[in-house]
Structure 1
């Protein structure tokens, strides 16, 4: 089968790799309907995260179950499923505590941990899914009375369902971590796919004033479609001042940090009102130090981390299927899997917000 393999910085290839096979009773084989490139995939693409040897890449996919192991009980052949960006059993103590990203038996797509248990990755034609009962979320069950058929998922739903594998749940985690409540003012730092989905999440949780911090006209337009009431293009001290002007001089009740740099975290903290809260989900590859004195002085709280999206998918799924939220609109470019290298280049060069790949 075909899959995306990263060889080195800016060296993405689509190659023939072995077909996945069931190796444990907990496995499932999923035929990928759609996958995508994540902003975090750009770290190895740019060489910031080193690639020591070629390996498969990609951690977001949806598809149809083709085979299951003998011990799988909640997933059936023919089910249309969403895979979160990690593997989890959904039963261990950490999973039960709502932190499935720290599953005691789980891991990350494309990883060689646990003797290669999670070495498969999402940007390919098929994926072996370990711990299938815990990892996968069923969108549509196999059709009743039709042994070889499954209920159809409309093509128009595919982008939104794919967004639930990572970016929509991650944006939601920022809003939940910040404690967004109805009637509040929310500022969102970051206008990538996660930041845009954080706007959706803030509106869904009842925020009435939503400030999108964005310098790009196309992303500003999408932010407004998703529910942003104001746009601030400035950064640094000017951006903080602009947020305060929009909030009676005090700052936002909640600030959602969706970038992961020292500058973005500083922007978020200083845009919050005294007693406010920052929810952060930006992956800090170069970890910024928290400025404790400003936090202390203003009683600003900080909460967040890697998003346990497996626990959010079932909550958000009905709103995607009904059209109440439209996170799939963050995919502004669609390409065949064979053109994965162009997908990475387009996102790296900011010619696309997020690219959907079709095998």
Structure 2
């Protein structure tokens, strides 16, 4: 099969690799029909995180089941499925309490299981990982585009809003205008926030935030952004969502929180070595979040997508085939695309 592989900063190649096969009775083989390039993929693409040269990349697969092991009960060949970015067993202590990303039997996509940006993947623990799409929606392309973000960014944005305690009638500030930040706006609206202030510095992305339900937008950085948000929220918001992961964005989120407020963070931390803990301490600001257990949210979010009340598909501003994956990385790295959809 063919798959995207990493060969160094800025160097993504499409190569022939062994097609994954069943290795355990709990495995399933999925033919990938839709996947995506993620903002977190850019960390290794830019050389800002380590990755093994030659390893397959990608972690947001959706496709059709080709084969299953003898113990798999939840899916069968021919089923359309989406796969969260983290493999989980579904039965360990952490899976049972909805923290699938801490699964003691967990795994990621890559290595010998195929990688998410390729033609096939092998899902270990298929019953605990794969989410079956109802047959009546399995071939509706518009629906599939709206479901694909549930593999990562929609679930991650939702985790941020939940972690921040967003509830009906509340005011929420979303820091970050990437795909996760935009999905967090959707999530805050879904949870009933009355005011949603989206903070970023790309006017086109903030326009999408408004389409998704942001009531106000702030196109500024640093102290200017903090000052404007505090003006809009009369001293800060009770619920702040951080979707970037940089030191500057984390400290800005803390500064935008009202005393006694909560920051829900899901941005992958990079260079966060000067977090303002004293400021958090002084104002009793809570920090909650982390890597999102998107499997825990998948069925609820899918029900809303299928019911027509949730559609994150506008985050996909470009579509490429498998050969176009390297260009997809470039488009996202250069901020020419919000998120790139891949159809192998």
TM-score interval w.r.t. the shorter chain? over 0.9
1:16-31 matched pairs, under 5 angstroms: 16-31=16-31
Shift of 1:92: 0.2
| Structure 2 CA distance for aligned equivalents of residues 106 and 48 of structure 1 | 24
| Structure 2 CA distance for aligned equivalents of residues 293 and 4 of structure 1 | 44
Match of 1:131 among 98, 108, 125: 125
| Structure 2 CA distance for aligned equivalents of residues 20 and 151 of structure 1 | 27
**1:101-150 deviation digits (Å, cap 9, x = unpaired):** 01001111125xxxx5xx42110111111110101011125xxxxxxxx8
1:231-246 matched pairs, under 5 angstroms: 231-246=217-232
Shift of 1:253: 1.5
Q: Is 1:296 aligned with 2:269? A: no
Please tell me whether the aligned partners of residues 25 and 72 of structure 2 are also in contact (alpha carbons under 8 angstroms).
yes
Give the equivalent residue in structure 2 for 1:59.
59
Match of 1:180 among 166, 178, 195: 166
Please tell me whether the aligned partners of residues 137 and 143 of structure 2 are also in contact (alpha carbons under 8 angstroms).
no
Give the equivalent residue in structure 1 for 2:78.
78
**1:220-248 deviation digits (Å, cap 9, x = unpaired):** 11000000000111222211110111112
Shift of 1:289: 4.0
Match of 2:305 among 300, 320, 339: 320
| Structure 2 CA distance for aligned equivalents of residues 272 and 176 of structure 1 | 16
1:153-164 matched pairs, under 5 angstroms: 153-164=139-150
Tell me how many residue pairs correspond in the alignment: 344
TM-score, normalised by the number of residues in structure 1: 0.93
Q: Is 1:212 aligned with 2:212? A: no
Give structure 2 stretches of 5+ with no counterpart: none
Please tell me whether the aligned partners of residues 59 and 117 of structure 2 are also in contact (alpha carbons under 8 angstroms).
yes
| Structure 1 CA distance for aligned equivalents of residues 300 and 179 of structure 2 | 20
**1:288-338 deviation digits (Å, cap 9, x = unpaired):** 443221111111111000000000000100111222111111010001111
Q: Is 1:265 aligned with 2:247? A: no
1:81-230 matched pairs, under 5 angstroms: 81-111=81-111, 119-141=113-135, 152-230=138-216
Give the equivalent residue in structure 2 for 1:147.
none
Q: Which segments of structure 1 move beyond 6 Å, counting only runs of 4 or more?
A: none
Q: Is 1:341 aligned with 2:335? A: no
Give the equivalent residue in structure 1 for 2:14.
14
Give the equivalent residue in structure 2 for 1:145.
none
Return 85-94 or 231-240, whichever deviates more. 231-240
Q: Is 1:280 aligned with 2:252? A: no
Please tell me whether the aligned partners of residues 140 and 153 of structure 1 are also in contact (alpha carbons under 8 angstroms).
no
Shift of 1:195: 0.2
Q: Is 1:247 aligned with 2:233? A: yes
Give structure 1 stretches of 5+ with no counterpart: 142-149
**1:180-227 deviation digits (Å, cap 9, x = unpaired):** 011111000000000000000001001011000022121011000000
Shift of 1:2: 1.1
| Structure 2 CA distance for aligned equivalents of residues 129 and 83 of structure 1 | 8
| Structure 1 CA distance for aligned equivalents of residues 277 and 4 of structure 2 | 42
**1:62-97 deviation digits (Å, cap 9, x = unpaired):** 111010011111111111111000110011001112
| Structure 2 CA distance for aligned equivalents of residues 237 and 19 of structure 1 | 51
Return 209-218 or 185-194, whichever deviates more. 209-218
SS of the residue 1:64 aligns to? strand
